[in-house]
């Protein structure tokens, strides 16, 4: 490379000149070291603890517990912790602004850590998915979910991965609000821990092996059935 051209390369790039000369190598290395943001959606406070709408919180708590990540930081109306999941640098967060205002706290947290929208995994309940089912989706609309709606409004797009946890619809004819803010039935509670653990496993697979692998392993599987 001519000296005149080399002098126009920023100092950081000059320090990694062999990688720059090899084209995409440097870009690949940087992308592997990027921070991921895992967001569990829910409502704060004991009144909402263990309700269907807090399924995202439950999975975030399980992931933090299993990977020794402490929710010891508070910023932008979120509680969060930072650690490693399968050697991946991860921030696990729970917005504390209530479900329908989840977007602004998470957008500010993502901006603070310079995390791109596509490097975010959002875990949430879904009434249109039967209890015991998980569904991983790369992007899409909000599907009537107020937490996802708020995130899309805050980020201006919906290009983030979602891990949907099926809570089903009320068989007793209860309204949507009453159903999602209610607790799991006694029958459902017998398999709930297994489903939360499976959702944790699905999140880990998405982070470490990619969305497509996660879809193949978990979408369409009935987790109420033991194998």
CATH number for the domain spanning 135: value is: 3.40.50.1470
> Which domain does 131 fall in, by range?
35-218
pLDDT of residue 156: 94
Does residue 121 sit in helix, strand or coil? strand
Q: Which of 150, 151, 137 lies closest to 219 in space, CA to CA?
A: 137
Q: Is residue 5 situated within a structural domain?
A: no
Angle subtended by helix axes 186-209 and 211-218, to nearest 10: 150
Structural domains in the chain (count): 1
Q: Is residue 75 situated within a structural domain?
A: yes
Q: Is residue 162 situated within a structural domain?
A: yes
33 alpha-carbon distance from chain centroid: 18
pLDDT of residue 227: 52
User: Which has more pLDDT, 6 or 190?
Assistant: 190
- The pLDDT tens digits for 96-108 are 999 999 999 999 9
Cα distance between residue 78 and residue 82, in whole Å: 13
- Stated pTM of the model: 0.82
Q: Is residue 19 situated within a structural domain?
A: no
Task: Summarize the confidence of residues 33-54 as an average pLDDT.
Answer: 93
- The pLDDT tens digits for 162-191 are 999 998 888 766 688 888 888 888 888 888
Does residue 153 sit in helix, strand or coil? helix
Active site residues: 53
Cα distance between residue 112 and residue 101, in whole Å: 18
Residue 178: burial class (beta carbons within 10 Å; 0-12, 13-18, 19+): exposed
Residue 181: burial class (beta carbons within 10 Å; 0-12, 13-18, 19+): middle
Residues of the chain with pLDDT > 90: what percent?
A: 64
For 144, other C-beta atoms within 10 Å of its C-beta total: 11
Q: How confident is the model at residue 225 (pLDDT cuts 50, 70, 90)?
A: low
> Has residue 226 got a pLDDT over 70?
no
Q: Is residue 170 situated within a structural domain?
A: yes
Residue 136 forms beta bridges with which residues?
Answer: 163
Buried b (16+ CB within 10 A) or exposed e, 201-219: bbbbbbbeeebeebbebbe
User: Which has more pLDDT, 29 or 181?
Assistant: 181
Q: Is residue 3 situated within a structural domain?
A: no
Residue 120 forms beta bridges with which residues?
Answer: 37
pLDDT of residue 198: 96
pLDDT of residue 56: 96
Dihedral sign (CA 114, 124, 200, 27)? negative
pLDDT of residue 224: 72
Q: Is residue 62 situated within a structural domain?
A: yes
- The pLDDT tens digits for 68-96 are 999 999 999 999 999 999 999 999 999 99
């Amino acid at each position: 490379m001519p000296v005149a051209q080399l002098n126009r390369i920023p100092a950081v790039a000059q320090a990694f000149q062999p990688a720059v000369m090899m084209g995409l190598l440097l870009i690949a290395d940087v992308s592997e070291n990027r921070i991921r943001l895992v967001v569990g959606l829910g409502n704060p406070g004991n009144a909402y603890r263990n309700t269907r709408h807090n399924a995202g919180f439950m999975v975030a708590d399980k992931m933090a517990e299993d990977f020794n990540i402490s929710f010891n930081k508070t910023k932008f109306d979120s509680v969060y912790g930072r650690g490693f999941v399968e050697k991946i640098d991860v921030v696990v967060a729970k917005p504390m602004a209530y479900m329908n205002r989840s977007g602004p706290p998470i957008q500010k947290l993502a901006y603070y850590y310079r995390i791109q929208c596509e490097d975010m995994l959002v875990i949430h309940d879904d009434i249109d998915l039967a209890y015991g089912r998980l569904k991983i989706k790369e992007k899409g609309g909000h599907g009537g979910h107020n937490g996802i709606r708020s995130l899309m409004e805050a980020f201006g797009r919906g290009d983030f991965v979602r891990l949907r946890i099926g809570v089903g619809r009320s068989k007793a004819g209860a309204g949507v609000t009453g159903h999602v803010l209610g607790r799991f039935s006694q029958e459902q509670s017998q398999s709930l821990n297994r489903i939360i653990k499976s959702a944790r496993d699905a999140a880990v697979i998405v982070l470490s092996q990619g969305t497509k692998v996660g879809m193949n392993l978990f979408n369409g599987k009935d987790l109420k059935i033991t194998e």
